[in-house]
C-alpha cells in the first residue's frame, strides 16, 4: 500500500490506533541481543503455549520488542497495562508468572526486580531506580514496540515528523531548526550537526547535483552497544531521521554502514527499509512530495578504523578502509568524490524528535553547549549494568550511583572510562562533574560514542592503558608512521612496566611518544590514541610509580608482579580451585585447607575467581 | 564446503557484477566456503577486472576474512573493555589451554577455530564468548569444558 499524501499517513495512523485497545493485556518479551542470548525467544514461545493451553490466547498479546536497556538482568518481561517488570525469567517460571499476574492479580514475587538478593522487590518498571532517573527520548520506543512492524512505529507517531517536514518546512527551515536545537553529533567528536548539514547542502554536487547521506552504524568502541540497540529495537526512527536529513541536504541516496557483528541490526533495518518503501515513505516521490530518496545497507568487514569517516567511505566504495588526509572535507568530496554527510545512528534518531517537538523543546534540556540527552552503555563494575539515557549535564555520580546503583560487592570505585580508545579514565575526585561534551574533554577524556566503563579498586590502571594500546596496535591501519610505530613503542614501554621491568623516565617517554602521535598522525585513531595513557598517568601516577619503582601492582592484576596463596583459616576445602587449576599447583584434601605451590603456579587467577569464600589471596 | 566456481558465479551475479561491491562479495564467499579460497580471488579478479593484489589487500585488511580454512565451529572470546575488566583475557587463556591452540589457530581435527575479538556489542553480559552464532554470557573458567562439550558431537 502506498501512502500518496501526508493525510493518508494520518488516516493510516488513525485506523491502526482504532484497532488497538490500550487496556489490552500485553506481555512484552525483550528480543534484544542480550536477552536472546539468555533464552528470551524460548520464554516468549513458552508464554504463547501456556496462554493457549490455559485458553487465554485471545485476550493476551505476546510481543517481542527490542532491548529494554537492562540487559544484564535478562530475559526481561513486562506486563502491560500493569507495568509489572520481571527479570531473569526462565522457562520454569512462565506458568507461575502467568497464573499469579493474570489470575490472582498479585505479581509473582520470585522474578521481581531486586537490586541485590537482600533488597525488597520493586514491582513496576517506572519505580526501578535504573529507569526512574533516566530521560528516555531516543530510546522511547525501544522495548515498547515490535521493531519488525512499521505499523507499531506509525501508531506511536512515527513518520509524522517526515510528513511535517515534507509538507510545510523548507530544507533551510529544517537545518535552522536542527541548528537552533543545538544538536551535536553523537558519534564521538560532538560536531555541530547543522553546520555539517549546511556545508554539504552548499557544496558543489557536480553536473548531476548528487549528494549522499550515510549513517555510521559501525560502533567499534569496545564496551559500547547503544547504536546496536537502536538499530535493532527502533530502526524506523533512524531511517526517518535520515530521510528528513536527506531532504534538508538535497540527497537522493543514503547508506547505512553496519558492522558485521550485528546481524540482527542488519535484519531489522532491512525489513524496516522494505516496509517503508512499500508505504511510499522511501523511494520515488515520498508521500507525493516529489522528493525521492532511497537507502542501501552496507555490512562492514570488522575493522575498527572503518568507523572513521574517510575510511568508512573507502569501505563502501569497495576498498580497504584506510583513512585519507583531510585537506578536503568529506562534506565536499566524500563518497565517489561527491559531497557526503555522515552522521552517527543516535544523531539520526534525534532528528525526528526535534522536528516533531521543536528546537526550543529540545534545547530546554541539557547544558549550555550540549543539548538534549545522551545514551550511555554503563558496564563494568556497577550494580545495574545496561543502556541508560540521561539529560546532558547529569553528573557522573548521578549516573553511576543513582542509576547504576553503585559498585557491587562493597568494593571501592576507582575510575570510569569514557570515550573508548580515544577517551580516558576519570577518577573519583571528578565524579561530580556534569557529563557533557566539553566537560569530559576538560577532564582529559571524551564523550565518544557513549561507552561508560566503571572500574573498581581491583582494576590496574597501567593494565587498562596497556589494554587500549594493545587494542589500537591491532586496529591501526598502519598507513602513517607516527601511529603505526608510536603505538608499538607505547606498547613496549607499557608492557615493560607491567612486567616489573620499568625504568626511571618511562613515564616521560610515554608522554613524549604520545605527543608525537597527537601531532603527527593522519587520522583521529592515532591522534587520540595516547589519551588513555595520558589520562591514567595524570590521575594515577602513583600506580605507575609503584610498578616502576617498587615492582608492585597495587591492584593485584599484573601477572608478573603478584603471587597467589590460600588463607588457611578461610579455606573450607571445597576443592573447586584444585579442579580448575591448569598447572596442578594446588593440593589438598576434601574439607581441609588447600595450598598453592608457588613454583608451579602460572598465575592464571582461576583459583581466585572460583573460590566461594574468598580464601585465595593475591599479593 | 569445497570451492565451486558456480557458487562464486552466483555471488558475482547477485551483486550485478559491480566492482565496488567486492567486499560484499568476499563476505558471501567467506560465508559459503568459510574462508577465501585462492581460486575465488582469481575468479573475482577476472570477473570484476580488478587486480588480485587489491583483493588480497582487502581480504587481509578486514577481520571478517580468512585465507585459510576455518574449523567447523568458530569460538570468539570477547576482549572488549567490558569483557577485559571482567577477566576476558583469562577466559581466552582458558580456551587456549582446553583446545591446545593459540588464539587465531584451528585445532588439528578442524573442529574449532579460536579467536579473540574486540567487543561483540553485548557488553552487559561480560565476559562474553560467542560460538558460531550463539552467545554464552558471563563465562567463567569452570564453564569452558561444558561449552566445548555442546559442540563436540
Ligand atoms: C578510529 C575512529 C573510529 C570511529 N568509529 C566510529 C563509530 O564506530 N561510530 C560512529 O558513529 N562514529 C565513529 N567515529 C567518528 C566518525 O568518524 C564520525 O565523526 C561520526 O560518525 C560523525 O557522526 P556525528 O557527527 O553524528 O557524530 C570514529 C572515528 C575514528 C577516528
Ligand atoms: S593514524 Fe593510524 S589508523 Fe589513522 S591513518 Fe594513520 S596509521 Fe591509519
Ligand atoms: S593462579 Fe592459576 S595456576 Fe596459580 S594456583 Fe591459581 S589456578 Fe593454579
Ligand atoms: S576454592 Fe577456596 S575454599 Fe575451596 S578449596 Fe580452594 S581455596 Fe579452599
Ligand atoms: S537485550 Fe533485553 S534488555 Fe537489552
Ligand atoms: S566488551 Fe565484550 S561484548 Fe562488548
Confidence of residue A115 (pLDDT cuts 50, 70, 90): confident
Write out pLDDT tens, residues A388-401.
999 999 999 999 99
d(CA A505, CA B57): 40
Q: What is the pLDDT of residues B42-84, one digit of tens each?
A: 999 999 999 999 999 999 999 889 999 999 999 999 999 999 9
Closest chain B C-alpha to A318 CA, distance in angstroms: 4
Instruction: Tell me the ligand closest to A577's alpha carbon.
Output: 4
The stretch A70-89 carries a mean pLDDT of 94
| pLDDT digits 0-9 by tens, A121-152 | 999 999 999 999 999 999 999 999 999 999 99
Mean pLDDT of chain A: 94
The answer to whether the CB of A259 falls within 8 A of the CB of A265 is no
Tens of pLDDT, residues A22-57: 888 999 999 999 999 999 999 999 999 999 888 877
What local confidence, expressed as pLDDT, does residue A619 receive? 87
pLDDT band at A245 (very low <50, low <70, confident <90, very high): very high
- The string of pLDDT tens digits covering residues A191-225 is 999 999 999 999 999 999 999 999 999 998 999 99
Per residue in A369-383, pLDDT tens?
999 999 999 999 999
Residue among A261, A262, A379 whose CB faces B82 most closely: A379
pLDDT in tens, A537-573: 999 999 999 999 999 999 999 999 999 999 999 999 9
The whole-number pLDDT of residue A188 equals 84
| pLDDT tens-digit readout, A417-429 | 999 999 999 999 9
**Residue to substitute from A75, A606, A608, interface B, most B β-carbons within 10 A:** A606
pLDDT at A55: 80
**Alpha carbon distances (Å) from A59 to A38, A91, A156:** 27, 21, 22
Q: What atom in ligand 2 is closest to the CA of residue A487?
A: 2
For position A103, what pLDDT does the model report? 85
CA distances, A229 to each of A39, A399, A591, B12 (Å) = 17, 19, 47, 32
- ipTM reported for the complex, 2 dp: 0.92
Å from CA of A94 to ligand 5 middle = 18
Q: Compute the average pLDDT of residues A484-499.
A: 97
Q: Are A464 and A532 in contact (CB under 8 A)?
A: yes
Size of interface A-B (CB pairs under 8 A): 149
Interface residue of A261, A381, A423, A610 to substitute, partner B, most B CBs within 10 Å: A261
Question: Which has more pLDDT, A498 or B121?
Answer: A498
pLDDT at B38: 95
The position carrying cell 575468479 is B43
pLDDT for A329 beyond 90: no
Report the share of chain A in percent with pLDDT over 70.
100
**CB contacts, 8 Å: A262 with chain B:** 121
For residue A302, the model assigns a pLDDT of: 82
Residue A479 in contact with ligand 2 by CB distance below 6 A: yes
* Residue-wise pLDDT tens digits, B95-132: 999 999 999 999 999 999 999 998 898 999 999 999 99
Which residues, other chains included, contact A600 with Cβ-Cβ below 8 Å and sequence gap of 6+?
A583, A584, A585
Task: Tell me: pLDDT of A407 over 80.
Answer: yes
pLDDT at position A116: 81
Lining ligand 4 with CB less than 6 A are A 566, 571-577, 594, 610-611, 613, 615-616
Of B21, B62, B86, the CB nearest to A303: B62
Sign of CA dihedral A401, A404, A406, A412: negative
Point out the residue among A223, A302, A467 whose CB comes nearest to the CB of B62. A302
Between CA A440 and CA A424 the distance in angstroms is 9
Does residue A74 have a pLDDT over 90? no
Amino acid at each position: 500500500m502506498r501512502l500518496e499524501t501526508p493525510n493518508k499517513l494520518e488516516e493510516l495512523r488513525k485506523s491502526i490506533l482504532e484497532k488497538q485497545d490500550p487496556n489490552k493485556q500485553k506481555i512484552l518479551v525483550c528480543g534484544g541481543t542480550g536477552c536472546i542470548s539468555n533464552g528470551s525467544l524460548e520464554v516468549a514461545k513458552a508464554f504463547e503455549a501456556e496462554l493457549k493451553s490455559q485458553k487465554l490466547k485471545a485476550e493476551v498479546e505476546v510481543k517481542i520488542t527490542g532491548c529494554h536497556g537492562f540487559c544484564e538482568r535478562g530475559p526481561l518481561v513486562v506486563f502491560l497495562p500493569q507495568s509489572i517488570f520481571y527479570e531473569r525469567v526462565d522457562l520454569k517460571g512462565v506458568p507461575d508468572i502467568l497464573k499469579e499476574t493474570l489470575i490472582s492479580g498479585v505479581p509473582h514475587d520470585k522474578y521481581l526486580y531486586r537490586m541485590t538478593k537482600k533488597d525488597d522487590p520493586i514491582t513496576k518498571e517506572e519505580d526501578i531506580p535504573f529507569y526512574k532517573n533516566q530521560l528516555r527520548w531516543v530510546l522511547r520506543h525501544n522495548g515498547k514496540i515490535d521493531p519488525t512492524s512499521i505499523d507499531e512505529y506509525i501508531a506511536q507517531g512515527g513518520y509524522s515528523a517526515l510528513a511535517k517536514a515534507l509538507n510545510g518546512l523548507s530544507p533551510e527551515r529544517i537545518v535552522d531548526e536542527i541548528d537552533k536545537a543545538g544538536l551535536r553529533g553523537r558519534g564521538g567528536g560532538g560536531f555541530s550537526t547543522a553546520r555539517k548539514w549546511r556545508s554539504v547542502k552548499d557544496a558543489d554536487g557536480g553536473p548531476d547535483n548528487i549528494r549522499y547521506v550515510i549513517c555510521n552504524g559501525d560502533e567499534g568502541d569496545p564496551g559500547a552497544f547503544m547504536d546496536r540497540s537502536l538499530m535493532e529495537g527502533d530502526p524506523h526512527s533512524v531511517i526517518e531521521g535520515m530521510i528528513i536529513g536527506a531532504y534538508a541536504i538535497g540527497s537522493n541516496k543514503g547508506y547505512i554502514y553496519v558492522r558485521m557483528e550485528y546481524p540482527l541490526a542488519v535484519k531489522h533495518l532491512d525489513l524496516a527499509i522494505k516496509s517503508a518503501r512499500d508505504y511510499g515513505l522511501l523511494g520515488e516521490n515520498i508521500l507525493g512530495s516529489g522528493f525521492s530518496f532511497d537507502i542501501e545497507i552496507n555490512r562492514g568487514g570488522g575493522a575498527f578504523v572503518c568507523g572513521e569517516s574517510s575510511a568508512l567511505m573507502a569501505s563502501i566504495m569497495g576498498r580497504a578502509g584506510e583513512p585519507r588526509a583531510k585537506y578536503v572535507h568529506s562534506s565536499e568530496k566524500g563518497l565517489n568524490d561527491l559531497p557526503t554527510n555522515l552522521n552517527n545512528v543516535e544523531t539520526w534518531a534525534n532528528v525526528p524528535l526535534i522536528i516533531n517537538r521543536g528546537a526550543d523543546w529540545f534545547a530546554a534540556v541539557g547544558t549550555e553547549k550540549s543539548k538534549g540527552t545522551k545514551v550511555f552503555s554503563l558496564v563494568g563494575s556497577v550494580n545495574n549494568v545496561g543502556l541508560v539515557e540521561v539529560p546532558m549535564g547529569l553528573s557522573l555520580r548521578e549516573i553511576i550511583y543513582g542509576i547504576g546503583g553503585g559498585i557491587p560487592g562493597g568494593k571501592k570505585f576507582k575510575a570510569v572510562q569514557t570515550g573508548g580508545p580515544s577517551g580516558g579514565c576519570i577518577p573519583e575526585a571528578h565524579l561530580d562533574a556534569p557529563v557533557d561534551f566539553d566537560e569530559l574533554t576538560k577532564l582529559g577524556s571524551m564523550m565518544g560514542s557513549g561507552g561508560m566503563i566503571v572500574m573498581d579498586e581491583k582494576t590496574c590502571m597501567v593494565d587498562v592503558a596497556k589494554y587500549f594500546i594493545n587494542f589500537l596496535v591491532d586496529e591501526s591501519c598502519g598507513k602513517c608512521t607516527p601511529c603505526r610505530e608510536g603505538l608499538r613503542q607505547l606498547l613496549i614501554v607499557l608492557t615493560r612496566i607491567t612486567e616489573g621491568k620499568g625504568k626511571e623516565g618511562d613515564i616521560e617517554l610515554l608522554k613524549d611518544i604520545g605527543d608525537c602521535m597527537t601531532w603527527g598522525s593522519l587520522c583521529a585513531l592515532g591522534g587520540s590514541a595516547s589519551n588513555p595513557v595520558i589520562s591514567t598517568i595524570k590521575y594515577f601516577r602513583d600506580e605507575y610509580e609503584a610498578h616502576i619503582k617498587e615492582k608492585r601492582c597495587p591492584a593485584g592484576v599484573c601477572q608478573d608482579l603478584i603471587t597467589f596463596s590460600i588463607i588457611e583459616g578461610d579455606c573450607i576445602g571445597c576443592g573447586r580451585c584444585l579442579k580448575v587449576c591448569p598447572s596442578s599447583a594446588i593440593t589438598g584434601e576434601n574439607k581441609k585447607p588447600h595450598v598453592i605451590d608457588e613454583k608451579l603456579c602460572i598465575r592464571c587467577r582461576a583459583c581466585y575467581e572460583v573460590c566461594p569464600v574468598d580464601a585465595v589471596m593475591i599479593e | 564446503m569445497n570451492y565451486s566456481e558456480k557458487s562464486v558465479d552466483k555471488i558475482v551475479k547477485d551483486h550485478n557484477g559491480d566492482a565496488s561491491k567486492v567486499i560484499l562479495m568476499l563476505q558471501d564467499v567467506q560465508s559459503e566456503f568459510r574462508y577465501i579460497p585462492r581460486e575465488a580471488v582469481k575468479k573475482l579478479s577476472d570477473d570484476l577486472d580488478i587486480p588480485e593484489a587489491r583483493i588480497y589487500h582487502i581480504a587481509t585488511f578486514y577481520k571478517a576474512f580468512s585465507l585459510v580454512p576455518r574449523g567447523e565451529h568458530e569460538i570468539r572470546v570477547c576482549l572488549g573493555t567490558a569483557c577485559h575488566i571482567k577477566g576476558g583475557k583469562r577466559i581466552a587463556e582458558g580456551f587456549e589451554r582446553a583446545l591446545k591452540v593459540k588464539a587465531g589457530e584451528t585445532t588439528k581435527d578442524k573442529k574449532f577455530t579460536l579467536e579473540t575479538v574486540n567487543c561483540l556489542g553485548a557488553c552487559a553480559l561480560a565476559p562474553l564468548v560467542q560460538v558460531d552464532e550463539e552467545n554464552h554470557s558471563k563465562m567463567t573458567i569452570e564453564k569452558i569444558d561444558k561449552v566445548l562439550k555442546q559442540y563436540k558431537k
